[in-house]
Amino acid sequence: VVEDAGSGRRSSADHDGGASADRVILHVDMDAFFASVEVLDDPALLGLPVIVGGAGARGVVAACTYEARMFGIHSAMPSGVARRLCPSAVFVHGRFERYSEESKRLHAILDSISPLVEGISLDEAFVDVTGVRHLLGDGATIAERIRFRVASEMRLSCSVGVGRSKLVAKLASKAAKPVADRNGVRPGRGVVVVPESEELEFLHALPVQALWGVGRATGRRLEGLGVTTVGDMAALPLGTLERAVGAAVGGHLARLSRGDDPRPVVPERAAKSIGHEETFARDIWDRTELHRRLAPMVEASANALRRSDLAARTVSIKVRYADFTTITRSHSLKVPIDAGPAVAAVAGALLDSVDLSLGIRLLGVSLSGFGQRDRGVQLTFDLDPERAGLGKGDSVGREGGAPEQGRDPIETVQRSWESVSDALDAIRARYGDSSVGPASLVGAEGLRIRRRGDAQWGPRALPGRSEGDDRRTTE
């Protein structure tokens, strides 16, 4: 492991360019993670078909137990379909915070194994163990050790794939998982090791959809070429593949199909965007109402931005119409912003440019184009306050000093709210999220600042019904 002097970041590519034949990468994947945590916390659920996700008409399945999978239920399936397939299923609205806790425990275990751990989501991670084999044994031994520790310390189960690359490790962990179908649940192997000598045989037998990057659209296009397995793809001329799916994706897939995947395990990836979005229980046509729904998402996003010590140049909104067509509108500023009112001004203007006549099903806001927060004093060459655009008697705060004249109005909003935002953050850090915030966010139950995962799996209430509050529901 080599420390990169520039970024201070380490990665497994530093060994020898990443393509080494003796790399050993583990992919650790928790089994039915969210659902397993729910069963862990409520043993009465043991052995039942449990679905974590939105129970409302517009909800989807986030995770489910293997007992639910026996009915054909899987993640991302509309909840209505899941309920039809298994009317006796127990729906549980997920608890993001709780899963985050368990995820931290998983990462603590993995971090104690190797410094090269790359989290993919709450429930999976890559671990490069190339450099720790002399201490802990070969890949299979380390994989078994991880499974043992997850079982004994977390009382949960996981599957581990071992291979020379991320691609193979990931597919191997999938092969290690339990399988559920109409005939019942068959336990998985737990650990699957794919040695280099068996790599191509293992890969080529898989359907193309198994490859990371091949979803429904790409899968259909490949099927048009008669390509259904990874082996078919490896046999396809590169030009044909590139014409079918584009140069970048085509080249990438061609390499993967030959087992060529030098991507390193990179700990601590920096975020590139932060945002919130919400599907409404009923479509909304009213512009004022949409602005009202946008406000908490903007406030939460700006808040998250500042917590990460970032500011964003680009503000985007996303609108999904009743017919499911989705559009985005974005605006980039000269100066990065992080104050809620500045973001609100841009997002609000973008929303005003959108036609609402079809009815809006989903609204979201996203911030990107990150730069560091700039709280320094903006110097001006013009020291005469009159000519610098500052009226006589204007008080100049620590962020003041730059001329207001010619400045982007959004930048003016940003500058004037910076101190307030800092004060809000300080108060929230000390007294909690609901201690202070914009008056526009005060609702029936007081002030509530949104957090990631608050609206994870769709609106809770079914259209036409009152808001349901029980976390657990069955029909």
Q: Taking a C-beta distance cutoff of 8 angstroms, is the pair 377, 344 a contact?
A: no
| Closest distance to DNA from the beta carbon of 315 (Å) | 8
Question: How many residues in the shown chain lie near DNA by CB under 7 A?
Answer: 69
- The Cα 282–Cα 322 span in angstroms is 9
- The correct pick among 24, 45, 54, 143 for binding DNA (CB under 7 A) is 54
| Closest distance to DNA from the beta carbon of 318 (Å) | 8
Per CB under 7 A, contacts with DNA among 378-437 are none
Q: Among all chains, which residue has been given the structure tokens 């994947």?
A: 29
3 in active site? no
Q: Considering the complex, state which of residue 229 and residue 456 has its C-beta at the smaller distance from DNA.
A: 456
Span interacting with DNA, options 73-81, 98-106, 154-162, 408-416, rule CB under 7 A: 73-81
| Closest distance to DNA from the beta carbon of 102 (Å) | 14
Task: Give the β-pairing of 90-92 and 472-473.
Answer: antiparallel
CA distances from 354 to 318, 320, 332 (A): 10, 11, 17
Span interacting with DNA, options 105-113, 132-140, 277-285, 385-393, rule CB under 7 A: 277-285
Letters for 168-207 (x = contact with DNA by CB under 7 A, - = none) are: --x-------------------------------------
Q: Taking a C-beta distance cutoff of 8 angstroms, is the pair 336, 370 a contact?
A: yes
- The correct pick among 214, 241, 351, 413 for binding DNA (CB under 7 A) is 214
Q: Considering the complex, state which of residue 19 and residue 388 has its C-beta at the smaller distance from DNA.
A: 19
Q: Considering the complex, state which of residue 77 and residue 140 has its C-beta at the smaller distance from DNA.
A: 77
| Closest distance to DNA from the beta carbon of 224 (Å) | 13
Q: Considering the complex, state which of residue 234 and residue 245 has its C-beta at the smaller distance from DNA.
A: 245
CA 49 to the chain's CA centroid:
26
Tell me: does residue 120 bind DNA (CB under 7 A). yes
Given the residues 102, 118, 124, 418, select the one marked as catalytic. 124
Span interacting with DNA, options 105-113, 138-146, 231-239, 452-460, rule CB under 7 A: 452-460
Letters for 349-388 (x = contact with DNA by CB under 7 A, - = none) are: ------------xx-x-x-xx-------------------
CA-nearest of 316, 283, 292, 296 to 452 is: 296
Q: Considering the complex, state which of residue 126 and residue 390 has its C-beta at the smaller distance from DNA.
A: 126
Tell me: does residue 273 bind DNA (CB under 7 A). yes
Q: Taking a C-beta distance cutoff of 8 angstroms, is the pair 161, 174 a contact?
A: yes
Known catalytic residues? 124
Binding site for DNA (CB under 7 A): 54, 57-60, 62, 75-78, 80-81, 84, 120-121, 123-124, 170, 209, 211-219, 246-249, 252, 271-279, 304, 313-314, 316, 324-332, 361-362, 364, 366, 368-369, 452-459
